[in-house]
Amino acid sequence: MRVALLCLLFGALALAGCNPQPTNISDQERLIRKDQIEKINSILSDFSARSNLRPGRLAPDEIVKMSVVELAKAIKDRHLSSEEATAAFLRRDLDVNPKYNAIVTYNVEAMDRARQADLALASGRSWGPLHGVPFTVKDTFATKGLRTTAGTAALKDYVPEQNAVVVQRLLNAGGILLGKTNTPALAGDVQTSNSLFGTTNNGVDPKYGAGGSSGGPAVAVALGLSPFDIGSDLGGSVRIPASFNGVYGFRPTVELVSYRGHIPPVPGETNGMRHMAVAGPLARSIDDLEFILPLIAGPGDGDHRTAPLPPPTREGVSAKELRIAWMDHFGDIAADESTRLAMRSLVAKLQAAGATVVQAEPPNFPYEKAWEAFGSISNHQGDYQTSQFHEVGWAPVDPLVLCCDTHVEKGHRPHLRFNLYARFGVPRWLHRTAGIIS
């Protein structure tokens, strides 16, 4: 079964990550990152000199373990300053990130905005529910004045003039942008590696891959480099790396969260990601996802596709009213033993709470046809197959090649790629990128 083979390849090979190493960063990027780190160290030194006079401060190790909800409350109640929170995460980043390579661009103005957040709160002004809370975003979302590369050398010097809608909504809610997290080129892989920034290693075990394409976001959240991140997902790009790194990722309904300002599409090109690609949060708890989602849901300036929706209501539901079906396989691909045990444990808890839980699947479900329909729908989005999208740093691949085909950008190490169109009916514009755009 084609879909079964595809799932097997994604699950096994993306996890293996072809012995990923975070050291394959381009020389130019090493210099840029060194300059950013020197500036941040100087800013943190200045903050330390000022903050040592404050009694009863929380330890940085305590701060980076706090949830988004806890951080927001502590800052609002003035038990913690935004500067303290931002400094704690930046110090954690500088100490831990070199081994994992999750954050690829730092916002050297983060501490200044955090200080302004504290001054505003001291004068009785709140910026919103996220006042003073730091966060990161995937390097596929436009950030005004802060380089946005989408992991491709073609955009290595691209500095947007405005924020992606989802970024602006977080800033409007009071958030502090720490930096950008790694992605495969144009979000085009199920692991996270590119010729600019190198490979992001798994946050649980750096010998393994991070998953993709939101691998940088998932690892940053897993390691406490950021309280939460915003990723993007078409075919699993939030969900796969969240699973690989032991964090929570959420794929919202299409057009609930604005996709405006995401790359792809490449700046200046037609938006071909109109029906299936979404922006979604990654965090360390479901409570945090629930807190973040209303802040990012809805339209922004120039966005005519995302409808304004009323705030969601949370009504209590008795477990006895729930009827739940579950399965531990997809076609002829079964979950591994540890996953099955975890699912059975959850099933037992749900049944003990009074829910009706049945192991079942749709009868005679055509897995292969479902995959072909996915490819067909993708193929007709925005006439992308006639654009230059496939020319930005990628080249076609003829045979099915695993972990041994070389990226066309000079100096990029071999990594996992497929000729999916020929083998699995994936749309032509995905075939031309020689990857999955997710």
Residues marked active site are found at 138, 213, 237
Residue 417 has, within 13 A of its CA and on its CB side, a CA count of 27
Q: Is there a contact between 237 and 214 (Cβ–Cβ < 8 Å)?
A: yes
Task: Provide CB contacts within 8 A for 41, sequence distance 6+.
Answer: 94
Residue 413 has, within 13 A of its CA and on its CB side, a CA count of 20
Phi-psi category of residue 17: left, alpha or beta, with phi > 0 → left and psi -120 to 50 → alpha: left
Q: Is there a contact between 305 and 275 (Cβ–Cβ < 8 Å)?
A: no
